[in-house]
Amino acid sequence: MRIVILGPPGAGKGTQAIEIAQARRITHISTGDVFRAASDSGTRMGLKAQEYMSAGKLVPDEVVIGVVEERLKQDDCTGGFMLDGFPRTLPQAEALDRILAAMGTRLDAVINIATPDEVCEKRLSGRRLCPQCKRGYHILWMPPKEDGKCDDCGASLIQRADDRPESVEERLRQYHEQTASLIDYYSGTGVLIDIPGDQGVEALADAIELKLDVLSSA
Ligand code: AMP
């Protein structure tokens, strides 16, 4: 299946996207991960993207569209993909349709995880990351055994620059300004799946799987 997952930052897109991609044996593509990796390796594109990311701003459309187009043309995407974090603007959604049409295909499902801002804020502000092995934690719901230290490799946990309160506020603002309208863009296409995000990880995953099964057997 060719799937897009939408939702505000903190809706749990990343976690669900990984699960779905594994369950359906399709390639998981997170544009946020692509930019973080590029920034860690210090490429020019990565360093530029990092400036936008730490301010909670969106990376310009032409950069993101180019990165996604290149990625979708790779062999591991022919069996399907799970796009996580893209599209985030109307021009990106239109570009995605064009790219897929040129490849002779189209989206099979667009999952929208609808989550109130307060829930997103609480989830993002408590998020911590191991910079070494990349394991994720949450200070309330998934704390490490020893305060501030990774259970697996012992490295000191960090907070992503864009999970700090001022960036979170900006990311939610950008979501409402630029991304929320994509729900209208996809409604009426017959592939939009709307799911309330204010529920546990497992319940959310089950609800998504059920709806994907219905779509894929239609
Ligand atoms: P994420 O991990 O999906 O929350 O993405 C982290 C950051 O990467 C975002 O706040 C943006 O700065 C940037 N980013 C990721 N995907 C996109 C996109 N589709 N369009 C613009 N910026 C993006």
Domain ranges of the chain: 2-26+79-217
pLDDT over 90, % of the chain: 80
In which band, very low, low, confident or very high, does the pLDDT at 24 lie, cut at 50, 70 and 90?
very high
The pLDDT of residue 14 is above 80: yes
**2 catalytic residue (yes or no):** no
Which of 2, 13, 36, 123 is the catalytic position? 13
Ligand 1 centroid, distance to 218 Cα (angstroms): 32
What's the rounded Cα separation, in Å, for the pair 200 and 207? 11
Q: What is the pTM of this model?
A: 0.88
Ligand 1 centroid, distance to 157 Cα (angstroms): 22
Which of 2, 36, 123, 127 is the catalytic position? 127
The pLDDT of residue 12 is above 80: yes
**123 catalytic residue (yes or no):** no
Whether domain 2-26+79-217 has CATH 3.50.50.60: no
What's the rounded Cα separation, in Å, for the pair 78 and 59? 26
Report residue 198 as tokens: 């204010």
- Report the atom number in ligand 1 closest to the C-alpha of 85: 3
What is the per-residue pLDDT for 172? 94
What's the rounded Cα separation, in Å, for the pair 2 and 18? 14
- Report the atom number in ligand 1 closest to the C-alpha of 56: 10
**36 catalytic residue (yes or no):** no
The mean per-residue pLDDT over the stretch 140-166 comes to 93
**106 catalytic residue (yes or no):** no
The verdict on the CB of residue 92 being under 6 Å from ligand 1 is: yes
Say which DSSP state 197 is in.
-
